[in-house]
Amino acid sequence: MVEPLGNVHLTKALTNGITHIDSAECYNTDYEVAKAIKQSKLLRSDIWITDKYFAEDDPYQHLVAALKRLDTPYVYLYLLHSPFIKIKFRGFDLSEAWGFMERCKKEGMAKNFGVSNFGVEDLKFNQIVFNAFLQNQTPGNNIQLEPYSPLGPLYKGDLKAGAGKTQILLHWVSAFGIVQIAITSKETRLAEFLDIFDGFELTPEEIEQITDIGKTYKPVLRQCWKPEYSKFVS
């Protein structure tokens, strides 16, 4: 269900410099995204849209339909939303799904493509959970890590003068050179996103402290992060 004010907040985010839109089939926000982009009056080339395939038709047919809803000829990044793609459920396996992704790029519908919620594999993009309490999926092998849920709870060390937990945690993620994705339906939280690099910096000691705190606790893992799903197998 789309928040009633979602379009308003997205338009405000775009006009204030937050130009990465993370979309997906299961988010059901394509029409709102299209409307916000139009209202922002920004050039299409100045907005990065990420879309994700999950279950509809096949990755190619899904993106064809999604681009119509988004009212755009392409997305900058197109991801397989999870590794759960098997012939008995979809009629094609992961290797064939990857072929659909390649076709999308070849036809100019996606500038880049990758995966989401996979383990570390030799792929260019991997969008996963990454926060102070889940640090085991580190980038390497020329993989660009793009995490969601960077605002894992933080208590100790979140009282730095002039900053809240949101700003501190986003600063911590940025210290690792990682693309950040965060979500909100609150105008106050949006204001925090817009101000994360104004007025304060984390010291190397504070970054290390948060890292150490996170390593002390084990998070509850989503299904695709459990050991049996650490490799994509069709």
> Taking the domains of the chain in order of start, what are their residue ranges?
6-229
Instruction: State the catalytic residue, choosing from 20, 27, 76, 148.
Output: 27
Distance CA 208, CA 21 (A): 30
The whole-number average pLDDT for the span 6-12 is 81
| Residue 134 clears pLDDT 90, i.e. is over it | no
To the query of whether residue 171 is one of the catalytic residues in this protein, the response is no
**Model confidence band, residue 125 (pLDDT cutoffs 50, 70, 90):** low
What residue type is 117 in one-letter code?
N
Contact 48, 14 (CB under 8 A): no
Instruction: State the catalytic residue, choosing from 9, 62, 81, 171.
Output: 81
H/E element holding 53? strand 48-53
Distance CA 81, CA 189 (A): 26
Residue with tokens 């995490």: 147
Q: Check if CATH label 3.20.20.100 holds for domain 6-229.
A: yes
pLDDT (tens digit per residue) in 193-227:
666 666 667 788 887 887 777 667 665 555 454 45
What residue type is 33 in one-letter code?
V
Percent of the chain exceeding pLDDT 90 equals: 26
**Model confidence band, residue 122 (pLDDT cutoffs 50, 70, 90):** very low
| Residue 106 clears pLDDT 80, i.e. is over it | yes
H/E element holding 95? helix 94-106
The whole-number average pLDDT for the span 87-101 is 88
What's the confidence (pLDDT) of residue 1? 37
To the query of whether residue 27 is one of the catalytic residues in this protein, the response is yes
Quote the crossing angle between the two packed helices 187-194 and 165-174, to the nearest 10°: 40
| Residue 93 clears pLDDT 90, i.e. is over it | no
Token pair of 51, please? 């879309």
Instruction: Look up the pTM and report it.
Output: 0.69
Distance CA 178, CA 154 (A): 19
